[in-house]
Structure 1
């Protein structure tokens, strides 16, 4: 009898504001149990998914699956980065940017059926001041929103929108010095996003031309714009046309340095992290396998 592949499902019970009490039962109904032997573990503290991923390597699992949002994917992906172990995704976050880009269904059963195929793709990963990111990292307005959202009692898109409105009321653009592949720029920006994939999540595309396996990061500089144009800017995001706005400049690069006035929040795949005034960013080409 052929040996079944051992898969560890790492479940974030609070991601996306969704209950996951019936998830294990659903996996046992949908997953091909002749091919796969599933184990389930639930995260209960920050960085727990990372710890479980590291343990999965030592325990000889054949794959790990992030059942959560981009933050859970980040922790679990960081744990297995540089190994041959593939990462599966069952999208359960507020935005699910990476999953949407990869075409992984948001429906739980459909996402589990993708794992049955066990097809993998090699993707690029980014690094910012020693922290890994797989989708998008950023500073400025979106980082401040992520920082606020971390304390929001309402999860999901509604909570994120509420955080964005609260931050927008008194947010000011900053001056940044950037060095991208050796070329220096000085920009006043509302925010700067460094994109490995095109979208934040919920089909909001900040870097429509970005590719997750081209060995390049897209540095998206959103300039100061009149507040009355906010609806148009939002339209560009959801119409995959942000790169056509006069207030958005996108510069591709592999090695990036950003210097700002002082320390502050940076979002790393949507999770706020306090970092210093100097940010050093690089890309690792095709460094992670994802089941899709």
Structure 2
């Protein structure tokens, strides 16, 4: 088997490059057949993956980077059914690893990739807004959660916290700050073409393929990566002080069942907000808009997971 490594050396303030310098000697020591491509600019991983998979042969692609790099690779795959993905995470959010129970330690992650025989099929989400489409692995959302992702993406606080290995806290810090700045509005949500549900004073709506987003918020605990469904969470009608109380609870999934937290399961969702808000996919800023549609591709991608999971 030959592995193709797509490496983002700048991920987590340059940690990606340092980790690759640890990984490559091990590959050579084990006489592993591999090739490596380094990204130099945003969205280059999408271009690399698209060029690699255009012949629609089977490939084993190993992503060394953050959730954003994984998102770029997902968006470049020509035929998801022909690709097996491995992941050596270097980011601060690492939401992709949680549901799949992937190792976050680089050495353990590499051992998993080289030694494990176990694969799991993962659904691939696809969202559309403003005449554009974008795939996602973890989630896509509009409103408060997307605004947090947009700000964290350019935050100096994240860079600083990354240096002391506390980058995950940047999501919570930005969330608490934006909570008292951002407006909320009416949201209309249509599931699988059925009756439209309306929600007043909505903070955000997110369509989730994984149970976690935003650096570990356990928003949809029942979401499964391979069930052919999206879980949709709507947070609405709550005073801001109560949302402050609920945010820490959401790390453990203890927000579920509280009035103002609605979770649905569907194959397709159409979301319309009363005003324009940030929109994200896998935590990456996508657009500013008032409408979002999300569903799943008809083909799944294989993920290398530990044998004991």
Q: Please indicate, yes or no, whether the TM-score normalized by the shorter chain is above 0.5.
A: yes
- Structure 2 alignment gaps of length 5 or more: 159-166
Structure 1 match to 2:216:
203
What does residue range 271-282 of structure 1 map to in structure 2 within 5 Å? 271-282=284-295
What is the Cα deviation at residue 151 of structure 1?
A: 2.2
Structure 2 match to 1:65:
62
Summarize the Cα distance change of 1:14–1:160 in structure 2 as closer, same or farther, 3 Å threshold. Answer: farther
Summarize the Cα distance change of 1:81–1:124 in structure 2 as closer, same or farther, 3 Å threshold. Answer: farther
Are the counterparts in 2 of residues 124 and 287 from structure 1 also a CA contact under 8 Å? Answer: yes
What is the Cα deviation at residue 202 of structure 1?
A: 4.1
What does residue range 6-155 of structure 1 map to in structure 2 within 5 Å? 6-17=2-13, 19-31=15-27, 36-58=32-54, 62-80=59-77, 82-83=79-80, 84-116=82-114, 117-129=116-128, 130-155=133-158
Tell me, what secondary structure is at the counterpart of 1:261?
A: strand
**What is the alpha-carbon distance in structure 2 between the residues aligned to residue 165 and residue 207 of structure 1?**
20
TM score, norm. by length of structure 2: 0.85
What is the Cα deviation at residue 35 of structure 1?
A: 6.9
**What is the alpha-carbon distance in structure 2 between the residues aligned to residue 222 and residue 74 of structure 1?**
25
**What is the alpha-carbon distance in structure 2 between the residues aligned to residue 191 and residue 16 of structure 1?**
27
Structure 2 match to 1:218:
231
Are the counterparts in 2 of residues 82 and 287 from structure 1 also a CA contact under 8 Å? Answer: no
Q: Which moved more, 1:226-235 or 1:208-217?
A: 226-235
Q: For the aligned residues, what is the CA RMSD?
A: 2.3
Structure 2 match to 1:179:
190
What is the Cα deviation at residue 153 of structure 1?
A: 2.1
What is the Cα deviation at residue 33 of structure 1?
A: 6.1
Are the counterparts in 1 of residues 15 and 90 from structure 2 also a CA contact under 8 Å? Answer: no
2:283 maps to which of 256, 266, 270: 270
TM score, norm. by length of structure 1: 0.90
What is the Cα deviation at residue 275 of structure 1?
A: 4.6
**What is the alpha-carbon distance in structure 2 between the residues aligned to residue 215 and residue 195 of structure 1?**
12
Q: Which moved more, 1:145-154 or 1:46-55?
A: 145-154
Count of aligned pairs = 288
Tell me, what secondary structure is at the counterpart of 2:301?
A: strand
What is the Cα deviation at residue 61 of structure 1?
A: 7.4
Deviation per CA, 1:31-85: give whole Å up to 9, x if none: 4865731222221211101111123225877311111122111110121252412
